[in-house]
Chains A and B, each alone.
Chain A
């Protein structure tokens, strides 16, 4: 247990659905991240929030929409996804120059 939780752990959705992934940490961290992990590929950084402000959008398609209402919660809203978006989505958080703490991930399957 790293102190970073993610829900749901597994999600199956159709291409026309709208769903949201949730990430939560009460570690006092100020930076939060979304990563995508596909088979046989390095972790891809999607979004970075620092003190609730988005500081990075790594050319992510607009069908992925992040939201950071406060420094403890991070959401990833999904709509009209494609089958190639199926992957493990990981949330992470950190404070200052310390290491990132990762959540267990959400395994997303798009049908």
Chain B
């Protein structure tokens, strides 16, 4: 099965500062998804990466997939309170299935 390690487990950042979350796989990633979850709620899709070296941005969030396709990072620039939540990476496993990391809890301090 696909093992995904996310780091850090949690982080606290001052509003306006940048932050980075990492997702590392034990196998080559053929599709990597980033989701955000507010506590106790469903997951909201952020971005999907498929190609080695691919980078996508949406508003202040940038996701990258390394050339070897075994590591992805999510970077938030000038964090705001609305960025607080749990960020999860998910890997395509074939047969319509995703395997998820344990998540990174982000707290933004005003």
Contact = CB atoms under 8 A, between A and B. Distances in A.
A43 B100 contact: yes
Contacts of B4: 42
Contact of B103 (A42, A45, A88): A42
A66 interface: no
B95 A56 contact: yes
Interface string A27-43: 00001000000001111
> Which applies to chain A's interface (DSSP): helix, strand, loop or mixed?
strand
A100 B98 contact: yes
A42 B100 contact: yes
B11 interface: no
Contacts, number: 54
B43 interface: yes
How many of chain A's residues touch chain B, expressed as a range?
20 to 34
Contacts of B90: 43, 100
A48 B43 contact: no
B41 interface: yes
Nearest to B101: A42
Interface of A: 2, 4, 6, 31, 40-43, 45, 48, 50, 55-56, 88, 90, 92, 94, 97, 99-105, 107
